[in-house]
Amino acid sequence: MKKAFTLIEVNLAIMIMAVGVLGIISLYAFGFREERQSREDVASAAYADAVMGPLVTALTATNVKWSAFRRIPDSPGSLGWGHYLENRTTGKVVSNPESLAQSAYTRTISALSLGEGFPSGMQVSKQKAGNLKAALVVMHDEDSAVVRISFRAAAKENLLFAAPLYYTEARFQGVIDEGGGQ
């Protein structure tokens, strides 16, 4: 008598293989989503570096006078990230967060009175920024030697607060002048 598989055994084997193959196929969607998110996170980190790098360099410049450093304003204002919310109840982000970020950058650089040496606005190439929407917050307590800078960038404005937060601090390293001691 020949040994063979029964129809039930064959169907059971096909069903087990089908479940395994469908499980693998379902991972493709997850993989594609994660790959897209990974590309966005890398672009966001490059964007943060391109914005925060020159800002920290300007804030820690050794020719910055204490009288100018101590007057660095909170930007875009004392509400910090709250300025980027159009509706606090729903968490709706303002329609153009880049203009607030550009304003925060410009106000901080302008307060330092460094002249021509530093760009007055965020100089980020489209290659680094891509289609990302950026937000920048600069917090500084008057008479504090530390400025706190945080940055976010996301492809969609409504996801801005779900994006990674990049944070750094810049400490005064300039010149104490007649405008006040430290």
28 vs 180, more confident: 28
| Domain interval for residue 51 | 42-171
Distance CA 153, CA 164 (A): 8
pLDDT in tens, 23-32: 998 888 888 8
Helix 7-59 / helix 97-112 crossing angle, nearest 10 deg: 30
Reported confidence tier of residue 52, pLDDT bands at 50, 70, 90: very high
pLDDT over threshold 80, residue 59:
yes
pLDDT over threshold 60, residue 181:
no
**Residue 37 placed within a domain:** no
pLDDT in tens, 92-128: 888 888 889 989 998 998 888 877 766 667 776 665 5
**Residue 53 placed within a domain:** yes
The total of structural domains in the chain comes to 1
**Residue 123 placed within a domain:** yes
Which residue is it, tokens 């760009």? 119
According to the model, what pLDDT value does residue 167 have?
A: 96
Reported confidence tier of residue 136, pLDDT bands at 50, 70, 90: very high
Reported confidence tier of residue 182, pLDDT bands at 50, 70, 90: very low
Distance CA 156, CA 91 (A): 14
Residues written for the chain? 182
Nearest residue to 170 (alpha-carbon basis) of 64, 81, 98, 79: 64
Phi, psi of 83 (to 5 degrees): -65, -25
**Residue 31 placed within a domain:** no
**Residue 19 placed within a domain:** no
Q: Among 78-82, 129-133, 165-169, which is the least confidently predicted range?
A: 129-133
Which residue is it, tokens 């302008």? 110
**Residue 142 placed within a domain:** yes
pLDDT over threshold 70, residue 178:
no
Q: What average pLDDT does range 153-174 have in this prediction? A: 90
Tell me the pTM.
0.77
